[in-house]
Structure 1
């Protein structure tokens, strides 16, 4: 059996090749985003309480789908809500 010696340069080259391969895999894989979010995910995303989320449901501001006691929210509806309530800031002058 022949003995092979691995040098630090060999290890660094292997490391570089491995990192490049991993980067290619990550970049080529399309990012999948969830279409349906659960209540806790929506609360974290919008930084709101359970009661605020309930009020958004009750007054029809945010639509939802209920399946087996779990409420799901369409991410597109949340984005529409955020874009629909966008406020243009008017700069104020300090005197």
Structure 2
């Protein structure tokens, strides 16, 4: 059996390579999971709301949608706008 000796430099190089590989994986996952259109179940899970609340957002015109057959689709961009507008409104309430 051969004995290998590792130095601090070897470990530092391994750490750097490992972190670079992890960052590549994370970036690849971010690009593939970002969808342009989301179904109702995905929106409910993403926003942590009930399906009834989602229906209320649709009915009140707060969240726009497209319906194909019996399935509702929501633009990811519209969900981000909704979240940003909610965040701004919450920030304004803090200073009152």
TM-score, with length taken from structure 2: 0.63
CA RMSD of aligned residues (A): 3.3
More helix by share: 2
Q: Tell me, which stretches of 5 or more residues in structure 2 are unaligned?
A: none
Partner of 1:25: 24
After TM superposition, list the pairs within 5 Å mapping 1:1-95 onto structure 2. Answer: 5=2, 7=4, 9=6, 16=14, 19-20=18-19, 22-23=21-22, 25-26=24-25, 29=28, 31-32=30-31, 33-85=34-86, 86-87=88-89, 88=92, 89-90=94-95
Q: Tell me, which stretches of 5 or more residues in structure 1 are unaligned?
A: none
Aligned residues: 87
| Distance in 2 separating the partners of 1:41 and 1:5 | 53
Shift of 1:26: 2.9
- Structure with higher Rg: it is 1
Closer/same/farther in 2, CA of residues 6 and 63 from structure 1, 3 Å limit: farther
Shift of 1:28: 6.4
TM-score, with length taken from structure 1: 0.64
